[in-house]
């Protein structure tokens, strides 16, 4: 299956893999999908910090605080900050309360794709033109009974 996140393989294969994994779980395990979208956001924030030569905080080295540091540095547009916040909160909800809505998973994968395209345009290739996002199909495994 082709992933919406394949374009990230050029510079960030780990992000491409996390995005593809999130897509693959939308229907079969939406809780894992939601967790993976949060994981994607956390890895992306770490990549920005590396690129910008911003050291991770010695105190309170949490995803939330790393986002705050990038925000204070003027590196996150409002919509990107909002997306990172939402992905962080829903990942926590997936982990701690078992959130597992297919509709939420679909929305979060779409938002993660938008985050990925912003990241590519900002840190990878300024001339990058993102292909349209295509929601993965719900393909049921064959019933061999």
Percent of residues, the chain, with pLDDT higher than 70:
95
Q: Is 132 helix (H, G, I), strand (E, B) or coil?
A: coil
Kindly tell me if the per-residue pLDDT of 99 is higher than 90: no
What pLDDT, on a 0 to 100 scale, did the predictor assign at position 83?
96
The answer to whether the Cα torsion of 24, 34, 108, 138 is positive or negative is: positive
The confidence band for 142, taking pLDDT boundaries of 50, 70 and 90, is low
pTM of the model as a whole: 0.92
Q: Which of 11-15, 33-37, 51-55, 126-130 has the lowest mean pLDDT?
A: 126-130
pLDDT at 138: 84
What stretch of H or E contains 46? helix 30-51
pLDDT, average across residues 24-52: 96
Which whole number is the average pLDDT over 65-93? 94
Closest CA to 112 of 28, 2, 3: 3
Query: In whole numbers, what is the pLDDT of the chain averaged over residues?
Result: 93
pLDDT bucket at 1, cuts 50 / 70 / 90: low
pLDDT at 141 over 80: no
Alpha helix (H) residue ranges in 73-101? 78-97
Confidence of residue 143 (pLDDT cuts 50, 70, 90): low
Q: Is the pLDDT of residue 134 over 80?
A: yes
DSSP 8: G
């Amino acid at each position: 299956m082709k992933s919406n996140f394949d374009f990230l393989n050029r510079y960030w294969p780990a992000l491409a893999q996390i995005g593809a994994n999130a897509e693959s779980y939308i229907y079969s395990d939406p809780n894992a999908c939601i967790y993976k979208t949060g994981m994607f956001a956390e890895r992306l924030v770490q990549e920005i910090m590396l690129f910008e030569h911003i050291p991770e905080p010695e105190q309170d080295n949490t995803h939330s605080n790393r986002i705050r540091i990038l925000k204070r540095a003027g590196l996150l547009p409002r919509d990107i900050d909002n997306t990172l916040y939402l992905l962080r909160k829903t990942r926590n909800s997936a982990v701690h309360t078992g959130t597992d809505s297919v509709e939420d998973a679909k929305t979060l994968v779409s938002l993660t794709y938008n985050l990925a395209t912003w990241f590519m345009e900002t840190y990878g290739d300024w001339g990058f033109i993102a292909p349209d996002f295509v929601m993965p199909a719900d393909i049921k495994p064959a019933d061999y009974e």
